[in-house]
Amino acid sequence: MLYPQLLLDDFAKLPSVLRDFHSAPGGSKASGTVTVRHVNHWLARMAGFPPSGDNIPLQVDVDAGDDEEVWTRRFGAAVLRSVQSRHGDLLVEAVGPVRVFFRVSADPAGMRFESERARFWKIPLPLRIRAEARGNRSSWNIEVTVRGVGWYRGVVTPTV
């Protein structure tokens, strides 16, 4: 499983709802609602960012293997599919030819993701992403910001 391998001992610090979601054999599912805003509409469309709006239904399906996870996020009718894997002590998220390398940290409140670099094939991109997942007893709050593009935030609950 990817996140226990990536976070090592810090994985045990996570709220149980996040530990359970990220360690389920074969993967997990979750749903919720998000608010999405664009800072630059043109860049948001080019980057495949979900459309702007309030109370957008979100569905997350994770197909987990031993060393990688396929994430499918549905923001209403918009679909964002990515593959997450590990590169040393960094999380790599690939969307088509774009690779974003994240430093991930964990504590009793949740996880934080800070992009360290991004590439379009081998070409460096000035892409900066910051994300947080803050867990509570049965759900977690998410906030994802792509500098110069937009952000989304909301509440997610695991589903069966």
Q: How far is CA 43 from CA 19, 47, 59, 124, in A?
A: 34, 6, 24, 17
- φ/ψ of residue 101, rounded to 5: -105, 120
Cα separation of 147 and 144, whole Å?
Answer: 10
Return d(Cα 137, Cα 16) in angstroms, integer: 7
Furthest-apart CA pair in the chain: how many Å? 42
pLDDT of residue 23: 95
Q: In a 3-state reduction of DSSP, which class is residue 22?
A: helix
Q: Is the pTM of this model over 0.85?
A: yes
Structural domains in the chain, sorted by start: 2-159 (2.40.128)
pLDDT in tens, the chain (160 residues): 899 999 999 999 999 999 999 999 999 999 999 999 999 999 898 888 899 999 999 999 999 998 999 999 999 999 999 999 999 999 999 999 999 999 999 999 999 999 999 999 999 999 999 999 999 999 999 999 999 999 999 999 999 7
